[in-house]
């Protein structure tokens, strides 16, 4: 790496090496800019994912997490509350990863572009200015005539020495700036990107650990929901069967009544058919629709 400048004398080879390193720095800057855009999009996506999961948790809370609300209790509100807590924790993991992308990758990349790469540009500008000043001083000194007063000669000679000193200083500063890029590019990006991959590892591990703890509870809820669905289907089938029997009986009674020439009088002279059957059906319907309060046997323990 340092072999790029074995000799620091201002020579054509030295200038060629400077030019080559500056080209490399310019190309690296373009790549950094593209990476920066990608990092920002990634960070924005993580922020949107965090907002989306938080919004989902909020909507679940509105939907059914009321503790004393009969509707919430009937749809499993206490169970949903536990899931809401888990979703909020998962969202916090996303926010942690987003923060890591911002500080470990984007901030360091920004510093590399605005400090290190910018220093190369500024050093080149100062060097060009020093070259111009040095060239002017040499031209003035070379153009001196033998008749030039001694004090002017001394002044121009001093100016030439100052210009040369500034030129050498700016030339070597440019070398330092370029070599700083050469050194940092060997580790800066690997360090940042590997740190982000480690952040991903911790992000997924946190999520895995949390959901692993919830896994038995989740399966218990799924089993209960499946069993409840089966029982509800059985009750629904029974209800449909009773409705069919009721309709069939009513139709038979209507047919029988239509063949009777004389109606059976009631106490007030009205025709009474199947009153007891209707009351029996009404009682059955009320019993089927009211039901018992749901029990959630897995609310206490996970």
What is the domain-level CATH number for residue 90?
A: 1.20.1270.60
Domain that holds residue 28: 2-216
- Distance between start and end Cα atoms, the chain: 60
The answer to whether residue 197 sits within a structural domain is yes
The answer to whether residue 261 sits within a structural domain is no
The answer to whether residue 16 sits within a structural domain is yes
Task: Report the candidate in 52, 142, 143 with the shortest Cα–Cα distance to residue 91.
Answer: 52
Predicted local confidence at residue 296, as pLDDT: 53
Q: What is the DSSP string of 14-28?
A: HHHHHHHHHHHHHHH
Predicted local confidence at residue 65, as pLDDT: 67
Predicted local confidence at residue 299, as pLDDT: 54
Taking 70 as the pLDDT cut, the residues of the chain under it are 1-4, 65-67, 261-302
The answer to whether residue 281 sits within a structural domain is no
The answer to whether residue 243 sits within a structural domain is no
The answer to whether residue 68 sits within a structural domain is yes
Predicted local confidence at residue 4, as pLDDT: 67
Predicted local confidence at residue 67, as pLDDT: 65
CA distances from 207 to 29, 30, 86, 128, 252 (A): 36, 36, 9, 56, 64
Q: How many structural domains does the chain have?
A: 1
| Residues facing residue 265 across a β-bridge | 271
- The string of pLDDT tens digits covering residues 54-80 is 999 999 998 886 667 788 888 888 888
CB 210 within 8 A of CB 96: no
Distance (Å, rounded) from C-alpha 216 to C-alpha 167? 74
The answer to whether residue 57 sits within a structural domain is yes
Predicted local confidence at residue 152, as pLDDT: 85
Token pair 């949390």 is found at 210
Q: Is 178 helix (H, G, I), strand (E, B) or coil?
A: helix
CB 140 within 8 A of CB 159: yes
The answer to whether residue 158 sits within a structural domain is yes
């Amino acid at each position: 790496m340092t072999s790029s400048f074995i000799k620091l004398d201002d020579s054509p080879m030295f200038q060629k090496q400077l030019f080559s390193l500056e080209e490399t720095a310019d190309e690296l800057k373009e790549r950094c800019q593209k990476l920066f855009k990608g990092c920002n999009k990634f960070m924005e996506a993580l922020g949107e994912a965090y907002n989306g999961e938080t919004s989902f948790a909020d909507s679940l809370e509105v939907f059914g997490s009321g503790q004393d609300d009969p509707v919430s209790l009937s749809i499993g509100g206490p169970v949903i509350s536990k899931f809401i807590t888990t979703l909020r924790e998962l969202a916090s993991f996303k926010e942690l990863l987003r923060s890591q992308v911002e500080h470990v990758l984007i901030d360091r990349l920004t510093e590399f572009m605005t400090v290190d790469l910018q220093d190369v540009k500024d050093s080149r500008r100062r060097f060009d200015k020093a070259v111009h000043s040095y060239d002017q001083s040499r031209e003035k000194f070379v153009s001196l005539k033998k008749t030039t007063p001694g004090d002017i000669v001394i002044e121009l000679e001093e100016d030439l020495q100052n210009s040369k000193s500034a030129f050498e200083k700016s030339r070597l500063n440019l070398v330092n700036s370029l070599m700083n890029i050469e050194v940092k590019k060997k580790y800066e990006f690997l360090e940042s990107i590997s740190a982000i991959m480690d952040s991903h590892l911790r992000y997924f591990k946190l999520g895995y650990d949390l959901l692993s703890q919830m896994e038995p509870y989740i399966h218990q809820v799924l089993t209960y929901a499946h069993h409840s669905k089966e029982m509800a289907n059985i009750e629904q089938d029974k209800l449909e069967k009773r409705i069919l029997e009721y309709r069939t009986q009513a139709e038979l009674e209507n047919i029988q009544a239509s063949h009777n020439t004389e109606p059976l009088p009631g106490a007030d002279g009205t025709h009474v058919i199947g009153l007891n059957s209707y009351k029996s059906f009404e009682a059955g319907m009320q019993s089927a629709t009211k039901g018992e309060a749901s029990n959630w046997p897995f609310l206490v323990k996970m």
